[in-house]
Structure 1
């Protein structure tokens, strides 16, 4: 008699849901990293530009070039602000997906635990049945010897 877990289909479905949640989580981590990287690049670019401008100011810089740099820095700051919001959204999305993945993991573990307990019960019943059969055989042998 082979062991058959009564919730096998449900467990398979839950494992598939967990795998989907994992891929969605990995995708959200990737998006977060890309957005954060772009934000870092913009901030580094702004910092480099401000450093360049301060060096040029000490040497003497035409007013037109100062205005040009200030306008460029202002535009960079707008981009930085936008990317900071995008990073926050990506982080929130990643955290949400992480929580969903955690829930799916817990569900799968519950079914694995149920399966383990069910299999132990099945094996115990199998041992009991074997013991009964062995008892019956030994009783029959005893009766046949006595006859």
Structure 2
């Protein structure tokens, strides 16, 4: 029984690690979603800006207005490149956290199975002991009545 107590304590530690891994994974997901949403919004802005630029090219527009539009597009492109890198880092972090969570889950399952196997063996040993005790009692009763 002491073996299962130790394993139960270790299981509790592993479950705590699993909960922490789940929290870290959820935070990584939130960070990734936030970065990806920002990137999506910037890409939409860039698309609108490019459409505006194309419209300006079709119409007669001042050179200053075209320069402003090009500068704005270049600024958006720089921000998009930066955000793409941030999204990639967030994705990599999220995948690492998912791997950690999977590993923690596997470790928890291992301890749960070890505890279940130990308890099964203890039950079997207990049943075997009870059977041998019953056999001994039966034998003693038989010998007691035989001697009468």
Please classify the TM superposition score into its range, dividing by the shorter chain length: over 0.9
CA distance in 2 between counterparts of 1:55 and 1:82 reads 27
Tell me the CA shift for residue 14 of structure 1: 0.6
Tell me the CA shift for residue 38 of structure 1: 0.4
Q: Secondary structure at the match of 2:61?
A: coil
CA distance in 2 between counterparts of 1:6 and 1:145 reads 47
Q: What is the count of residue pairs matched by the alignment? A: 146
CA distance in 1 between counterparts of 2:128 and 2:33 reads 57
Q: Aligned-pair RMSD on alpha carbons? A: 1.6
Structure 1 partner of 2:47: 47
Structure 2 partner of 1:69: 69
Contact persistence 2:4–2:115 (CA under 8 A): no
Per the normalisation by structure 2, the TM-score is 0.92
Unaligned runs of 5+ in 1: none
Tell me the CA shift for residue 56 of structure 1: 2.8
Tell me the CA shift for residue 4 of structure 1: 4.4
Contact persistence 1:5–1:118 (CA under 8 A): no
Contact persistence 2:43–2:80 (CA under 8 A): yes
Runs of 4+ in 1 over 3 A off after TM superposition: 3-6
CA distance in 1 between counterparts of 2:124 and 2:21 reads 36
